[in-house]
Structure 1
Amino acid sequence: MGNREDLLAGAKHCLYEKGYGRTTARDIATAAGVSLAAIGYHFGSKEALLNAAMMEATKEWGEAVDAAVLAAAEAAVTPEERFVATWRRVGETFVEYRGLWAAQCEAIAQIDRTPELRQVLAGAQRMARLALAAMFQGQREVPDSEEEYALGTFYQALLAGYAIQWLLDPEQAPTGELFLEGLQLASARVLGRPVEVPE
């Protein structure tokens, strides 16, 4: 690896171990085995490097969960089974990627003081939502349409809430079955369509 790749790897390690706000430039340089000057040369600032590392780590999480979800979708018979299995697989990834989710929550809490991060995260919203719509339907990609965007927005809201609840207490975090029951109840009450909720 070159210095740039070493810096990204070091920054990701620091995000997982120390979080977004507590990571210093020296921490990253030490983890990467390079000089402090290399951060400025390759990324311009520590913040730009951390933002790039956050996006790369999020992409890696997305690839891991996508593979797990596709495997679950192949075993599912009904859309309901796929929905439950998908959320179960998503929850399983939180164990390995706990540091990423904790760092993201920390970074979002500081977003008013980090306009660069706001720009990076906001710029990725549409593609992230479309990717979630595809993932939950067991597809590689979906059309860039307003319908798929709306569906992805719904899934993103569930995912963010799920991650926060899991970080607070994994034992009380929602299950795929609970998500399905909530979806059925919300559909019945909002749309006025009675559904049979499993006991």
Structure 2
Amino acid sequence: MGNREDLLAGARRCLEEKGWARTTVRDIAAAAGVSMAAIGYHFGSREALLNAALIQAIDEWGLETGQAVSSAYDDHTATPAERYEALWTQLSKSFGTHRKLWMASIEALLQAEHSPELRQYLAAGQREGRRGLASILLGVEEDRLPESTVRTFGSVQLALLSGLMIQGVTDPEQAPSGAEVLEGLRALLDHIGPAEAGADGVDRAGVVAGQEADPGGGKGAAGSPAAEPQG
């Protein structure tokens, strides 16, 4: 590897071992096996280098998440509920086996407050995450998903992912399993009851991927139960 790649690898190790605040220029240079001056030459500052290393870690996080979601939905003989449970089971395992990687994503959120570039990168990643999760879970191509579905169904899945990730890395022994996530969602639906028709008369529970449900079958465009998407 060249000095730039060595610095990224060294910064990544420092982030995993020490975190952002405790990592110094000297730490990175030692981990990379290059001079401290090389940091300024290639990245301009410690902060810029750590941002680049965080983005690299987040890219891996996104790849890991996408693989887990796709893998869980590969079994087309399973019911939507079984696939949904398998998804969260796989992700829960990832929180433990790749804890440092997930912690890097939390670190990025904290540092984004002081870095407009990093904040824009994370915001773009969230937009892609909402759409990607909705696409896989609903079985609808991304370019066919209306924004309303992405901002509702997709956003809820991303919120679940973020919340469960925090629980998984801080208290893995007590973090909910895939079955408990599914049961919790069902309990929530029982608690709030079915959706009511809006002012325009459209049943909001019957809209999946931007299309109204079949009044007789209660199915959305992706073939999932209208009031209980994929679970």
TM-score of Structure 1 vs Structure 2, range by shorter chain: 0.7 to 0.9
Q: Which structure has more helix as a fraction of its residues?
A: 1
> By how many angstroms is 1:51 displaced?
1.5
In the other structure, the counterpart of 2:163 is 161
| Aligned counterparts, 1:15-164, within 5 A | 15-75=15-75, 77-109=78-110, 111-137=112-138, 142-143=142-143, 145-146=146-147, 147-164=149-166
Closer/same/farther in 2, CA of residues 132 and 37 from structure 1, 3 Å limit:
farther
Structure label with greater radius of gyration? 2
- Distance change in 2, residues 1:52/1:191 (3 Å): farther
Choose the corresponding residue for 1:179, options 178, 181, 192: 181
What CA distance in whole angstroms lies between the structure 1 residues aligned with 2:82 and 2:8? 38
8 Å CA contact 1:73–1:138 kept in 2: the answer is no
Distance 1:52 1:60 in 2: 13
Alpha-carbon separation, structure 2, partners of 1:138 and 1:89: 19
* TM-score normalized by the length of structure 1: 0.82
Identify if the C-alpha distance between structure 1 residues 65 and 121 changes in structure 2 by more than 3 Å, giving closer, same or farther: closer
Name the CA distance, whole Å, in 1 between partners of 2:129 and 2:41.
30
> What 5-or-longer segments of structure 2 have no aligned partner?
196-226
Contact 1:102 1:167 in 2 (8 A): yes
Q: 1:17 to 1:174 in 2, by over 3 A?
A: same
Q: Secondary structure at the match of 1:21?
A: coil
Contact 1:69 1:86 in 2 (8 A): yes
Q: What letter corresponds to residue 48 of structure 1 in structure 2?
A: A
Contact 1:86 1:176 (8 Å CA) reproduced? yes
Query: Structure 1: where are the runs of 5+ without partners?
Result: none
Identity %: 51
Q: CA deviation at 1:24?
A: 1.3
Q: How many residues align?
A: 194
Deviations 1:106-153 (A, max 9, x none): 4434554455543432343312322333454578x6226412243322
